[in-house]
Amino acid sequence: MPVLTRLIPSPVVVDIRAGALDNLAGLLHDQRISSSGKLAVAISGGSGAQLRERLAPALPGASWYEVGGGTLDDAVRLGDRMKKGRYDAVVGLGGGKIIDCAKYAAARIGLPLVAVATNLSHDGLCSPVATLDNDAGRGSYGVPNPIAVVIDLDIIREAPSRYVRSGIGDAISNISAVADWELAHRERGEDIDGLAAAMARQAGEAVLRHPGGVGDDAFLQVLAEGLVLTGISMSVAGDSRPASGACHEINHAFDLLFPRRAASHGEQCGLGAAFAMHLRGAHQESALMVEVLRRHGLPVLPGDIGFTDDEFVSVVAYAPQTRPGRYTILEHLDLSTDQIRDAYADYAQTISR
């Protein structure tokens, strides 16, 4: 018998709206994620205190755990501390670092994770990957997808706009990542998953073409949904392929070559995507990306985030080494440093016209 359908690993609940946080306790109970109310909540020491004060009365059975930082050691320690209680679930309440730590800790102790995002800095809030700093720099660790995702737009609006803007760059970069995947399919016969590609690309296109900005809820709704769908597209594909191509190799190279000066994930991915689209000859798409990134106050030239043109050339030259085995426009063109310099000059000139 042919396979007529497939199951997609995805959250049981996705609740994205203004005021969503007010219903967190009810949602956990109604969905039987936690009928006893015994929850381990991971939260940041600083900005988390206010949220804790607000939510604690509604979650009387919760134990609160301050997360030290965003390292693998922090995540292991968090899991060890939570292991001693008998909880129904782990709730990660905070930005990307907190959720990544909570994801890893929950996976280690075999509990489901509820992700409550307080900013939209990248597409990791609903992905099967935890990104954590380790001795070698930064690693990606496979974990189960969150069982529920809650994003309260009232909280997002309060987040520093730089973090929200970062998510725009990450979402838009999907378009370049999917183009890299298609290239690898054409040139290398790499398997492409049409559903995962469609989800990631549509998320990127919706953010790219939305006329609003970080100040309005309609835009934040589309951005939050786009980032959640992108995370699920990675579960469908079984790896980060739908959301990570040359754009992310360039981002990783910035992080590795200039760890102290690196900008945010989405800032670097957006810039990387615009340049990668130019490299693949998609000049119209590249120009639209540049226009939109600029409108949102995101960088389109290395100088916008404090890097020289030569430093950017060295970043692009190093980028393929950050993700061995991933075939993108960078591996396809296999440019020398001089050729990268020329291509960059052409990009810079094209977008200044």
DSSP string, 148-188: EEEEEHHHHHHS-HHHHHHHHHHHHHHHHHHHHHHHHHHHH
What SS3 state is found at 67?
strand
CB of 29 to Zn ion, least distance (A): 33
Distances (CA, A) of 145 to 8, 12, 121, 140, 201: 11, 10, 18, 14, 20
CB of 226 to Zn ion, least distance (A): 12
Residue 249 found at the interface with Zn ion (CB under 5 A): no
Which of 21-29, 37-45, 120-128, 332-340 is the region at the interface with Zn ion (rule: CB under 5 A)?
120-128
Please identify the residue of the shown chain whose CB is closest to the bound Zn ion: 170
Smallest distance from Zn ion to CB 265, Å: 6
Using CB under 5 A as the binding rule, the residues of this chain from 122 to 151 that contact Zn ion are 122
Shortest separation between residue 161's beta carbon and Zn ion, angstroms: 19
Which one, 28 or 229, has the nearer CB to Zn ion?
229
Angle at 147 between CA 109 and CA 266, to 5 degrees: 95
Strand, helix or coil for residue 70? coil
Q: How far, in whole angstroms, is CA 295 from its chain's centroid? A: 21
Could you tell me the CA-to-CA distances from 45 to 49, 50, 52, 59, 68 in Å, in that order?
A: 6, 10, 10, 18, 8
Check residue 170 for interaction with Zn ion (CB under 5 A).
yes
Point out which span in 116-124, 206-214, 313-321, 323-331 binds Zn ion (CB under 5 A): 116-124
Site size toward Zn ion (CB under 5 A) is 2
Nearer Cβ to Zn ion (112/270): 270
Contact call for residues 42 and 267 (beta carbons, < 8 A): no
Choose one: 36-44, 117-125, 161-169, 187-195; the region binding Zn ion (CB under 5 A). 117-125
* Interface region with Zn ion, contact rule CB under 5 A, candidates 76-84, 144-152, 170-178, 335-343: 170-178
Amino acid at 131: T
3-state secondary structure of 297: coil
The region of 31-39, 54-62, 89-97, 121-129 touching Zn ion under the rule CB under 5 A is 121-129
Q: Is 152 in the site for Zn ion (CB under 5 A)?
A: no
Q: Which is nearer to Zn ion, 118 or 131 (CB)?
A: 131
CB of 122 to Zn ion, least distance (A): 5
Q: Are strands 13-17 and 39-44 parallel, antiparallel or unpaired?
A: unpaired
For residues 96 and 289, give the distance between their C-alpha atoms in angstroms, rounded to a whole number.
Answer: 24
* Site of interaction with Zn ion (CB under 5 A): 122, 170
